Amino acid sequence: MKKAICYINQFFGQIGGEDKADYEPVIHDKLVGPAMAFQQALGEDVKVTHTIVCGDNFMGSNTEEGIETILGFLKDKQFDLFFAGPAFRAGRYGVACGHICKAVQDTFGVTAITSMNEENPGVEMFRKEMYVFEGGASAAAMKKDVPAMVNFAKKILNGEALKPAAEEGYFGRGIRRQIWLDPPVAAPDRVMDMLLKKVKGEPYQTELPIPKADRVPIAEAIPADELAKAEVALVTSGGIVPVGNPDRIQSASATKWGKYDVSALEKLKGGEFFTIHAGYDPAAANEDPNRTVPLDVMREYQKEGKIGGVYKYFYATVGTGTTQAEAARMGREIAEELKKDGIKAAILTST
């Protein structure tokens, strides 16, 4: 008999809500929460042997530790499938499902399947790494999402031919395979068919879809005389935060940002600020955080009259591994705060 293991968060694991989001990973040799739905959909041919429960905050803030612990749970287990979620539109849950699915696949070579709503940041972060099914927005979609994952899993176990992502119901992974049409249609005929449909305004599907780039227009320059009166904000994707990382921003694949008061500071001091960024050597930035967030230079410009002042907060997150969707969301949120305070200029520093 084939075997499967399920991963769920603290809410679906019946531990609690947001107050239990720091719950450390545990493994149960029984069905808990959605694991029962998976077992029902799988039928008698596949047995769900264990349920893993982990708090969303714990996995988000202690990702490496969480993954290592869960892989330790699994090292002596025999299983053929690994399910995580469904995560619906819950961002932290989706990211956690993605992290553990990738780790399980890489470590044990077992097919891992999860499900998320298209607005979940985990989709863009992990869709190329595993099968991420297109799920509903809330737990109300559980009855639909679980069978979709299970039906596909059964196909894999049975060695059946898999259809394209759009037909199977998961987000495309960017993998292209040659398919022979039955009956065969020559390439020139297919091209002309698409061209005629396009000319007539009829719907058609290209054989080579190309993602659209999200291009942001360049902002207009601020005249020098206006800049001399304006407060300028500092924003960084270089991971500079107060020592201790009070907002628990992830060192990679960030989904959080923080803001820190510098209204009384002339510069950032090493030992008080440091970088949590996992994508570059932190030695230089830790020695002098102004190398990443140039507060010292901005104060000099302020004294020279080149700018009117430095905004009272600087904003920080981490860029490495962060998806375009998450970066865009965080950028919008930070921009909205700055606009509310009448800030018209910001300097974005990287690494």
**Does one domain contain both 27 and 154?**
yes
Tokens of 36: 């029962």
More confident residue, 311 or 61: 311
Q: Is the pTM here over 0.85, yes or no?
A: no
Asked if the model's pLDDT at residue 142 lies above 90, the reply is yes
For position 115, what pLDDT does the model report?
A: 96
Q: How far apart are CA 123 and CA 104, in angstroms?
A: 17
> Would residue 297 count as lying in a domain?
yes
Residue 346, beta-bridge partner list: 233
> Would residue 174 count as lying in a domain?
no
**Does one domain contain both 127 and 231?**
no
> In the structure, what pLDDT confidence band is assigned to residue 133 with cuts at 50, 70 and 90?
very high
126-135, 282-291, 317-326: which has the minimum mean pLDDT?
317-326
Average pLDDT of the chain to the nearest whole number: 91
Tokens of 161: 């031919």
**Does one domain contain both 44 and 152?**
yes
> Would residue 163 count as lying in a domain?
yes
Q: Of 168, 197, 212, which one is at a domain's C-terminal end?
A: 168
**Does one domain contain both 270 and 137?**
no
Asked if the model's pLDDT at residue 211 lies above 70, the reply is no
**Does one domain contain both 125 and 24?**
yes
Dihedral of CA atoms 58, 127, 49, 45 in degrees, nearest 10, equals 170
More confident residue, 164 or 135: 135
> Would residue 274 count as lying in a domain?
yes
> Would residue 196 count as lying in a domain?
no
Task: Count CA atoms within 13 Å of residue 330 on its CB side.
Answer: 24
Supply φ then ψ for residue 256, to 5 degrees: -130, 160
**Does one domain contain both 105 and 241?**
no
In the chain, the number of structural domains is 2
Cα-Cα end-to-end distance for the chain: 51
Q: How far is CA 22 from CA 14, 19, 55, in A?
A: 14, 8, 5
319 near 351, Cβ under 8 Å?
A: yes
> Would residue 58 count as lying in a domain?
yes
What would the pLDDT profile of 69-126 be if each residue is shown by its tens digit? 999 999 999 999 999 989 998 888 999 999 999 999 999 999 999 999 988 888 888 9
Q: Is 19 helix (H, G, I), strand (E, B) or coil?
A: helix
Q: How far apart are CA 152 and CA 81, in angstroms?
A: 11
Which CATH number belongs to the domain containing residue 63 in this structure?
Answer: 3.40.50.2300
- Residue 337: exposed, middle, or buried by beta-carbon count in 10 A (0-12, 13-18, 19+)? middle
Residues 6+ apart with CB under 8 A from 174: 128
Q: Is 291 helix (H, G, I), strand (E, B) or coil?
A: helix
**Does one domain contain both 150 and 68?**
yes
The DSSP annotation for 134-197 comes to E--SSGGGHHHHHHHHHHHHHHHHTTPPPPPHHHHTB---S-------SS---HHHHHHHHHHH
Asked if the model's pLDDT at residue 172 lies above 90, the reply is no
> Would residue 278 count as lying in a domain?
yes
Handedness of CA 230, 236, 242, 248 (dihedral sign): positive
58's enclosing H/E stretch is: helix 56-61
**Does one domain contain both 233 and 332?**
yes
**Does one domain contain both 237 and 304?**
yes
Q: How far apart are CA 28 and CA 311, in angstroms?
A: 51
What would the pLDDT profile of 314-340 be if each residue is shown by its tens digit? 999 998 878 777 888 899 999 999 999
For residue 154, the enclosing domain spans 2-168
For position 153, what pLDDT does the model report?
A: 94
Asked if the model's pLDDT at residue 283 lies above 80, the reply is yes
**Does one domain contain both 132 and 244?**
no
**Does one domain contain both 139 and 259?**
no
Strand order in the sheet with 81-84: 26-28, 46-54, 2-9, 81-84, 111-116, 131-134
> Would residue 245 count as lying in a domain?
yes
96 near 85, Cβ under 8 Å?
A: no
The DSSP annotation for 190-251 comes to HHHHHHHHHHHT-----SS--PPP---PPPPPPPHHHHTT-EEEEEESB-EEETT-TT---S
Q: Of 168, 201, 234, which one is at a domain's C-terminal end?
A: 168
Asked if the model's pLDDT at residue 14 lies above 70, the reply is yes
Asked if the model's pLDDT at residue 300 lies above 70, the reply is yes
For position 183, what pLDDT does the model report?
A: 85
Q: Of 168, 186, 214, which one is at a domain's C-terminal end?
A: 168
More confident residue, 111 or 351: 111
Tokens of 73: 């749970």
Percent of the chain with pLDDT over 90: 68
**Does one domain contain both 35 and 131?**
yes
